[in-house]
Amino acid sequence: MTTIKLHDKTFDTYLSAEIIQEKVIEMAASLNNDYKGKRPLFIAILNGSFMFAADLFKHLTIDAEICFIKLASYRGMKSTGHVITAIGLDHDLFGRDVVIVEDIVDTGKTLHNFLPQLHHQQPASFKIVTLLHKAEATVFPLPIDYVGFIIPDKFVVGYGLDYDGLGRNLKEIYQLSANA
C-alpha cells in the first residue's frame, strides 16, 4: 500500500491504475453496445471528470460527441452545495441522446440541481455515467445508469479528483487514511 500526503492529510491507495482502466474499458463497451447506430452527446462535468471522460471517450467506437461544462466548485472536504455554471452548455440538446459523465456522485446534489435545465431542452434520451458512486451518501436519489465502482462514504482523491486543488494528476485513486 502506498501512502501519499496532500496538504495536511494522508491518503492510502484504494483503486490501482490497472483496475480503473479495466473498468473504463468495460463501461465503454456497454456504451458502445447501448448506443450502436446512434450519435450520443457526452456532457462531462468539470473539473473532476476530465480524466475519466478522456479515457472513456478513447474507448468509444460509436460516433459520439463530447462537451465539457462546469457546474460546481467543491472546496475542502464538504460539498458546498453551491452550483455555479461557469462554463455553459453550447450544444442544443433537443432530440439528442445525452450522456452525463461524472467522476463521482456523492450526495447527488450537483446533478439533481442540473437535471431540470437539461430536461427543459427536451433531449431524446438521457443517461448518467459515473466512475464512482458513494451510494450510502445519497441525499438526492438519481437515475444512474452506469456506475464504475460503488465506494464507501470516505473522501477520495486521484484520477481527476482533488483535495483542495491537489491530487488530480494521480493515476490511481486514494482514500483518506483511517488515522488522517
C-alpha cell read off for 75: 472546496
Q: Least Å distance between CB 111 and ligand IMP?
A: 7
Catalytic residue from among 55, 106, 145, 162: 106
Q: Quick count: other Cβ atoms within 10 Å of Cβ 61?
A: 11
Question: From the CB of 58, what's the least distance to ligand IMP, in Å?
Answer: 21
Which span sits near ligand IMP by CB under 6 A: 9-17, 24-32, 121-129, 152-160? 152-160
Residue 169 has which C-alpha cell? 494528476
106 is catalytic: yes
Nearer to ligand IMP, 35 or 98 (CB): 98
Would you say 12 or 34 has its CB closer to ligand IMP? 12
Cis before 169? omega within 30:
no
Q: What does residue 34 show for φ and ψ, rounded to 5 degrees? A: -70, -25
- Which of 56, 156, 170, 173 is in the footprint of ligand IMP by CB under 6 A? 156
What's the DSSP call for residue 3? E
x/- contact string, 115-144, with ligand IMP (CB under 6 A)? ------------------------------
For the stretch 18-25, contacts whose Cβ atoms lie closer than 8 Å and that sit 24 or more positions apart, written own/partner, are 20/131, 20/148, 20/159, 20/171, 20/172, 20/173, 21/55, 23/131, 23/148, 23/149, 24/52, 24/55, 24/56, 24/59, 24/131, 24/148, 25/59
User: With CB under 6 A as the contact rule, which of the stretches 34-42, 84-92, 93-101, 150-158 interacts with ligand IMP?
Assistant: 150-158
Catalytic positions: 106
Residues in the site for ligand IMP, rule: CB under 6 A?
48, 74, 79, 102-110, 155-157, 161
